[in-house]
Structure 1
Amino acid sequence: MAYAWLIEIGKGIGKLFLNPLLYYLFFIAAILGVSRVKRERRNFHIRAENAYYELRQLFPLGVVVGLSLSLVSIAAGLVIPVETLFFTAAFTVIWSLTTKIRWMAPAYTLGFAFFVTIFAADQRWQLSSFFTSLKVKEATIFPSIAVLLALLIIGEGILIVRNGQKGSSPKLVKSKRGQMIGVHEVKRLWMLPLFLIIPSEALKSPFEWWPVFSIGGSTFSIILIPFAVGFFQQIQGSLPSAAVKAVGRKVIALGVFVTLLSISGYWYPLASIAVVTLAIIGRELISLRQRVADENLPFYFSKRNNGVMVLGIIPGSPASNMGLQVGELVTKVNGRAVHDRSSFYEALLKNRAHCKLEVLDVNDQIRFAQRALYEGDHHELGILFVKDETKKGNEAV
């Protein structure tokens, strides 16, 4: 019996690759990568990460988090109507068309799908011959959706904390005073594949092969569904890693809070409506408060008189091998004080065979970084600076 289940679950995983949403998420991630590379080349005449970086972030951590959430969901006995999954996929596509990638987060996709599910149940929609799982008399359906949403928000927060700060993209923008400053942008899409329990009567043709099990006289099945998690954050007043992790921790806290509240829906089903509403508003408030707080901070990546601010590091470059970090201030090159790109380059050419940098790190501690330079290294050290007032300051060193 166990062997048969493993075979059927394996088939179910294979069916995931027939889901159009899976390939649509690949398409969106590819667009994010290409658009980022174009912008970085426009700003610096060179890209940081290659165009495949966003695609590489789509799966690995999301699979681990998704499987963990699947165990919790199945252990809790959450039964999700197929209609809700269909509406969630529809909202994933709809919100992606707005180009606001953060709207592809679970609070906005599953959250809005929850309210459409209620409306569909009230109007007794019949979407197709195999969407028949929604029963108005099932009092636990809506609380289960609320709990699932809370779990997905927790998963989103974990992804932000663990992966969001990696590969943040440097960007040049103009301040309100017309001064060129540097910011960091995180525009990421993850996929959370979850095994979910659905009513077995929803699995009509072409799903007759799917295994079912009985609980309390009702039959259910397990199906693997890909959920999208979109995230966007622009940081100008602090280090990207600290700012992104702070948002991620707040999202996790929101998810835990919503999880505790969502349990009340099993005793008071109408409470699920308030819980999902709170989840949507809470997630929006986190983004809004982060944006307002960041805009009120002084510019972190601005031109300095006592050194050159490191806005970005090209992966695999000599600068990366020397251990330089985003947010550090290069104060001296080969013993000469520097204050802009031109003086940096002139000091670098002072010794074509060796490079020694005096760096003020993010903790205001002075350290030294050095290495031998080979042919061409002095032209491609791999540091992205805030733009000088001259046009050539828009390039990398």
Structure 2
Amino acid sequence: MVQIWLVELLKGIGKFLLHPVFYYLFFLAGILGVSRVKRERNHFHVRAYDAYFELRQLIPVGIFPAIVLSIIAIAAGIAVPFAAILLIAAFTFLWSFTTNIRLLSPVYTVGAAFFTLIIIADHNWAVPFFSTAFHSIGEKVYPSVVVILALLLMAEGFMILKNASIGTSPKLVKGKRGRNVGAHEVKRLWMLPLLLLIPGDALHLPFAWWPAFHLGAHKYSLILVPFAIGFQQQVQGKLPKESIQLLGRRVLFLGIFTALLSVAGYWYPLVSIGVAAFAVIGRELITLMQRIGDDNLPFYFSRKNNGLMILGIIPASPASKMGLQVGELISKANGLAVRDEKTFYEALQKNRAHCKLDVLDTNGEVRFVQRALFEGDHHELGILFVQDERKYDEKIV
């Protein structure tokens, strides 16, 4: 029995490496990095993180939730039809063409696959090239797909909390009076490799109560599926970390509540349709609430009378090594009061070997930071400010 499971596990991993979504997500993450760097150079003539930053976030953050959810899925005997996996992959490609990365959230890819599966089964449509997979689904509602949706939604909330606020990208936008103000944007793509049971001819599930979410099959196979989780948010009325983590907690709560509701689909399959719709609408409402709430707040990254607002910090720069943070105000540089970039850089020239700053942190408390400056250090300390309209001629959108 153990040998059979190990063989199936190896075969499932092999199928994972053949899955087109696995390679496509690397391509998408690369595109996100390149487009971000291009925008940052357009706005600031310098980029914050390099173009490979999004690629480095793609896999590591998803490993822990993937292991936990895979154990839950197999232990609970949650099996999904292979047709659903094909449709999820298809909608991952389709929604990515909209260039709206948030549509790669599981509620949109898995949710669309779930409803399409019902429509295909109800009308008995023939699907070219995959007729065998779709012919076997019959006129059924598959609550197991909604359970997987709920588990992935929980993973999305966890990954937003864990990773989305790291490396947010500063940008310039036009305020209500037509002047440049600052904002932060995050476009993040994660891969979550989930080990699932599908109807097959290899594995007998070892306990009598398995499978809880059965498909009428007696034997199963293992397959490792690369699920995409996309996240996109612009923040202009709060500190990025505060706003993003609030949204992450809401998504996590929605995932937990959806998971509790989805279990009822085992006894009443039609309930699964309502639960899937609830998850999609709930996720949309969370996004809408964040957007409306942020738009109703005054711009956080705007010009202040008591100092110069830090919009961004370049990694490994003197500013980063001094512990300066996004959202802090620099009130003095080398003993001179600063109100704009011109006076700030003039104050830095007062002592080219040493920099001392009076900083008002995000809690409103004053602190002092200083550092020796060396040959080769970034001449602007690596701090990004809200640029004056006269500094660059590029169009800000």
Give the TM-score band, short-chain normalised: over 0.9
Distance 1:59-1:378 versus aligned 2 partners, 3 A rule: closer
Instruction: Provide the identity percentage.
Output: 58
Task: Answer whether contact 1:142 1:269 (CA < 8 A) is retained.
Answer: yes
Aligned to 2:183: 183
Task: Answer whether contact 1:82 1:133 (CA < 8 A) is retained.
Answer: no
Task: Encode CA deviations 1:17-62: one digit per residue, 9 max, x unaligned.
Answer: 1111111111111000000000000000000000000000000011
- Residue type of the alignment partner of 1:388: D
Deviation of the 1:130 alpha carbon: 4.3
Task: Answer whether contact 1:133 1:199 (CA < 8 A) is retained.
Answer: no
Aligned to 2:214: none
- Give matches, 1:110-189, under 5 Å: 110-127=110-127, 128=130, 130-132=132-134, 134-136=136-138, 142-189=142-189
Deviates more, 1:2-11 or 1:48-57: 2-11
Task: Answer whether contact 1:180 1:386 (CA < 8 A) is retained.
Answer: yes
Q: Which runs of 4+ in 1 moved over 4 A?
A: 214-217
Task: Compute the TM-score of the two structures, normalised by the length of structure 1.
Answer: 0.93
- Give matches, 1:133-282, under 5 Å: 134-136=136-138, 142-200=142-200, 211-214=202-205, 218-282=218-282
Structure 1 gaps of 5+ residues are 202-210
- Residue type of the alignment partner of 1:183: A
Task: Answer whether contact 2:317 2:378 (CA < 8 A) is retained.
Answer: no
Task: Measure the CA separation in 2 of the matches of 1:252 and 1:341.
Answer: 41
Deviation of the 1:4 alpha carbon: 4.7
- Tell me how many residue pairs correspond in the alignment: 383
Task: Measure the CA separation in 2 of the matches of 1:11 and 1:313.
Answer: 45
Task: Measure the CA separation in 2 of the matches of 1:229 and 1:134.
Answer: 28
Deviation of the 1:3 alpha carbon: 4.1
Aligned to 1:90: 90
Task: Measure the CA separation in 1 of the matches of 2:193 and 2:259.
Answer: 20
Aligned to 2:372: 372
Task: Answer whether contact 1:168 1:240 (CA < 8 A) is retained.
Answer: yes
Task: Measure the CA separation in 1 of the matches of 2:139 and 2:114.
Answer: 16
Aligned to 1:6: 6
- Give matches, 1:243-322, under 5 Å: 243-322=243-322
Task: Encode CA deviations 1:291-324: one digit per residue, 9 max, x unaligned.
Answer: 0000000110001121110000000000000000
Task: Answer whether contact 1:333 1:344 (CA < 8 A) is retained.
Answer: yes
- Residue type of the alignment partner of 1:240: P
Aligned to 2:15: 15
Deviation of the 1:375 alpha carbon: 2.1
Deviation of the 1:120 alpha carbon: 1.1
Task: Measure the CA separation in 2 of the matches of 1:292 and 1:101.
Answer: 19
Aligned Cα RMSD in Å?
A: 1.7
Aligned to 1:207: none
- Give matches, 1:4-83, under 5 Å: 4-83=4-83
Deviates more, 1:20-29 or 1:368-377: 368-377
- Give matches, 1:304-383, under 5 Å: 304-377=304-377, 379-383=379-383
Task: Answer whether contact 1:83 1:133 (CA < 8 A) is retained.
Answer: no
Task: Measure the CA separation in 2 of the matches of 1:264 and 1:118.
Answer: 18
Task: Compute the TM-score of the two structures, normalised by the length of structure 2.
Answer: 0.93
